[in-house]
Amino acid sequence: MKHLDKLKHAAAGATAAAVGLLAEGYLAALVICALAGVAREVWNWQIQGTRWDWLDLLATMAGGAALMAAHAAFA
């Protein structure tokens, strides 16, 4: 189940990056992806009472980076 969580984070990062790409471009995609990952980790830490997970944040950013790389390669 833990690996499924990382895939969900990657999908969320890709979605956030897609929104950024549609709105403004690569910088916006990177910023929105990072904000989404940090916001989720803050939610987990403050609201759910779980620990901050850097690997979740990394998975979110990796999903966004993968989408941006695919966009650059095929655009």
What's the domain range around 42? Answer: 2-74
- The pTM score is 0.90
Q: What is the pLDDT of residue 3?
A: 85
- In this model, does residue 64 exceed pLDDT 90? yes
Does residue 25 come out as left (phi exceeding 0), alpha (psi in the -120 to 50 range) or beta? Answer: left
Mean pLDDT taken over the chain: 93
Dihedral of CA 40/42/48/53: which sign? positive
Total domains in the chain come to: 1
- In this model, does residue 45 exceed pLDDT 80? yes
Q: What is the pLDDT of residue 5?
A: 87
DSSP label at residue 48: S
- In this model, does residue 1 exceed pLDDT 90? no
- In this model, does residue 36 exceed pLDDT 90? yes
